[in-house]
Chain A
């Protein structure tokens, strides 16, 4: 027997970076809002950094990869045809529980790559369209950083000063200075000072596995409390399997399983999908109906296609000056955008950023997350001693261009713990991305040697690196070549919206979440302004 709930105005699916933003924005007007989230609230004392075995938890029940974590709340992902594993977290706060909160913005050029470089597509919107929402999301989540970056347009003062860059950051910055290359202190949604009732970061270093101090911009602590206080209902342990539609293809709400495995139906006047760049196309594909034989709002045939990841190369420098650089937020140090734009002298288009990251604890060092596994046997201790606390990493984030053959589909056999079909991912590294990464590796080696590294090790393509999930329900003005319009509203149904990374047209060469959050706020503002018809 299906349990049917009283109708709501707006039903948000997913409580991560984008879902929370929409909930918060709509909670400030008089929409009735319900959010369905498959995960649960995580208590501060549950985070690995509250436990002595934090490094073990990071590799097991708190692993980045849902296929490794394998919790009931996770859904499996078939990655047999992908050299990159998609990463995510499923709980209130979504992947912002796990993220390292490095928060650069797109450049104005990122919205115009077709016009400027003749590749992919232009976005239907500009940097200027998004800018006020970037500012608003920065304020909501709490951005630490400083004005004056010559690689980016001037912008509003960040709410907090930058995080300390540490001796390792300074060592790298000086090297960039000597090479005449750009660098700037990272923008981070990590509190450098107490902010809106949340504590300042105390540099524990384990940013990527949840912050028990509330110092990191996770939406469970930065956004949800206010949205709930304003009247939004956040319903946890609620796993959506289908978005329901009427004969005209407009949504009537969503069906989900509750914690007891019972089927529920939540009627709504409008539905906002925020389950991330894999989760949203998965559930849309699973919502095929007479109106939508190929998946919800898929008249373009592009749903699930154009998956972009940011293929990630890691170039690690080993230093011998004993700085012990495991102190400080893991990957929120400095950013180098010297090679951000297309260089006509190179054999690839678009460019890349370097995100500087630091060392971690003893288990990670030995098992080699940053610098290869330490050899066993007679040389073990001397090698461990050389590496422990003495590695600085240049992570390469290259612009991944959209290609239709890179895609998310439903797996014909694999399911989650409720029996909902799991996603299967096809992804091939393009030759443009490979050339970008090769160039980036070469330049990173130069920079690390300049900084004094005694040895440099490059990981050509990191497998456990699908942290950015984009492009699978792209936006555009033309319904034939896009799934949603410039407001994130489906071309095929005016009461269905997508607000996560699925809507990205291109990926830029920066971490995506400030852009995801800004676009989500923009869609919410549009609903508030233009869609009184969705209000009861």
Chain B
């Protein structure tokens, strides 16, 4: 059973469940496997250990999942088929929406910080500086229409 304070500690079994859950949150696409299979459960656990809000949400979601009736059947969450797993997560989403949303954010944070994902979506990884971005220069011609308008601020 995971502790759900800032020190969220998962067992190896929890980690397998977390990984499977992450695959459902962000499934495989193109050449990329799902978020769990990409090995991001460890990053999620590490980040959750540093940030209280995400630590608490991870703990609550893992705990709720372990109590969710379908996941308590023999073999636990791992033994469910995909449809049943999604249904189990939907129950959590309805029952503990705040924690579940934070947990989804946690998965998105680690997934969309990964360079493999950046490559797929066409995003330049790394810091924004010093490169910044190129933009077309300021063009005063865009003002043509609005400049014709008579001044209309309210006189005092």
A153 touches B117 (CB 8 A): no
Q: Which residues of A lie under 8 Å from residue B153 when comparing CB positions?
A: 107-109, 150-153, 340
Given contacts A49-B129, A152-B153, 14 further A-B contacts (CB under 8 A): A52-B113, A53-B113, A153-B153, A164-B137, A166-B136, A202-B131, A202-B132, A212-B129, A327-B134, A327-B135, A341-B154, A362-B123, A376-B24, A376-B107
A204 touches B133 (CB 8 A): yes
Any chain B CB within 8 A of the CB of A268? Answer: no
Any chain B CB within 8 A of the CB of A54? Answer: yes
Contact bitstring B126-156, A, C-beta under 8 A = 1, else 0: 1111111111111110110111011111111
Knowing A109-B154, A203-B132, A367-B109, the reply to whether A376 touches B26 (Cβ < 8 A) is yes
B138 touches A192 (CB 8 A): yes
Q: Which of A148, A151, A177 contacts B145 (CB 8 A)?
A: A177
Knowing A150-B152, A183-B146, the reply to whether A213 touches B129 (Cβ < 8 A) is yes
Contacts from B to A (Cβ < 8 Å): 24-27, 29, 47, 50-51, 53, 86, 89, 101, 104-105, 107-109, 111-113, 117-118, 121, 123, 125-140, 142-143, 145-147, 149-156
Most buried by B among A161, A170, A363: A363
Q: Which residue of chain A lies nearest to B124 when distances are taken between CB atoms in the complex?
A: A361
- Which residues of chain A from 320 to 338 have a CB within 8 Å of any chain B CB? 326-328
B129 touches A363 (CB 8 A): no
A49 touches B127 (CB 8 A): yes
Q: Which of B121, B126, B131, B142 contacts A388 (CB 8 A)?
A: B121
Question: Would you give 30 A-B contacts (Cβ < 8 Å), ordered by A?
Answer: A49-B128, A49-B129, A50-B129, A51-B127, A52-B113, A52-B127, A55-B109, A107-B154, A146-B140, A150-B150, A150-B151, A150-B152, A151-B152, A152-B153, A166-B136, A177-B145, A183-B146, A204-B128, A205-B133, A327-B134, A362-B112, A362-B121, A362-B123, A366-B108, A366-B111, A367-B105, A367-B109, A373-B104, A376-B107, A377-B24
Any chain B CB within 8 A of the CB of A173? Answer: yes
Contact bitstring A466-498, B, C-beta under 8 A = 1, else 0: 000000000000000000000000000000000
B86 touches A56 (CB 8 A): no
B135 touches A203 (CB 8 A): yes
Q: Which of A162, A177, A381 contacts B29 (CB 8 A)?
A: A381
Q: Which residues of B lie under 8 Å from residue A126 when comparing CB positions?
A: 156
- Alpha-carbon distance A30/B128, docked complex (angstroms): 43
**What is the CB-to-nearest-CB distance from B32 to chain A, in angstroms, rounded to a whole number?**
9
- Which residues of chain A from 268 to 327 have a CB within 8 Å of any chain B CB? 326-327
A166 touches B135 (CB 8 A): yes
Q: Which residues of A lie under 8 Å from residue B117 when comparing CB positions?
A: 362
Q: Which residue of chain B lies nearest to A366 when distances are taken between CB atoms in the complex?
A: B108
- Which residues of chain A from 253 to 278 have a CB within 8 Å of any chain B CB? none
B155 touches A108 (CB 8 A): yes
Contacts from A to B (Cβ < 8 Å): 47, 49-56, 59-60, 68, 107-109, 111-112, 115-116, 126-127, 146, 148, 150-154, 161-167, 170, 173, 176-177, 182-185, 192, 201-206, 212-213, 326-328, 340-341, 361-363, 365-367, 373-374, 376-378, 380-381, 384-385, 388
Q: Which residues of A lie under 8 Å from residue B138 when comparing CB positions?
A: 161-165, 185, 192
Q: Which residues of A lie under 8 Å from residue B128 when comparing CB positions?
A: 49, 54, 204-206
Q: Which residues of A lie under 8 Å from residue B156 when comparing CB positions?
A: 108-109, 111-112, 115-116, 126-127
**What is the CB-to-nearest-CB distance from A162 to chain B, in angstroms, rounded to a whole number?**
5
Q: Which residues of B lie under 8 Å from residue A167 when comparing CB positions?
A: 136
Q: Which residues of A lie under 8 Å from residue B143 when comparing CB positions?
A: 146, 148, 185
**What is the CB-to-nearest-CB distance from B64 to chain A, in angstroms, rounded to a whole number?**
16
B127 touches A380 (CB 8 A): no
**What is the CB-to-nearest-CB distance from A272 to chain B, in angstroms, rounded to a whole number?**
30
**What is the CB-to-nearest-CB distance from B30 to chain A, in angstroms, rounded to a whole number?**
8
Q: Which residues of A lie under 8 Å from residue B107 when comparing CB positions?
A: 376
- Alpha-carbon distance A107/B151, docked complex (angstroms): 13
Q: Which residues of B lie under 8 Å from residue A328 when comparing CB positions?
A: 133, 135
B132 touches A204 (CB 8 A): yes
Q: Which residues of A lie under 8 Å from residue B24 when comparing CB positions?
A: 376-377
- Alpha-carbon distance A376/B86, docked complex (angstroms): 10
Most buried by A among B51, B53, B143, B145: B143
Q: Which residues of B lie under 8 Å from residue A184 when comparing CB positions?
A: 146
Q: Which residues of A lie under 8 Å from residue B137 when comparing CB positions?
A: 164
A376 touches B109 (CB 8 A): no
Q: Which residues of B lie under 8 Å from residue A327 when comparing CB positions?
A: 133-135
Which 5 residue pairs are nearest across A and B when measured between Cβ atoms? A202-B132, A327-B133, A366-B108, A204-B128, A362-B112
- Alpha-carbon distance A47/B89, docked complex (angstroms): 37
**What is the CB-to-nearest-CB distance from A150 to chain B, in angstroms, rounded to a whole number?**
4
Q: Which residues of B lie under 8 Å from residue A388 when comparing CB positions?
A: 121
Q: Which residues of A lie under 8 Å from residue B47 when comparing CB positions?
A: 56
B109 touches A164 (CB 8 A): no
Q: Which residues of B lie under 8 Å from residue A367 when comparing CB positions?
A: 105, 108-109
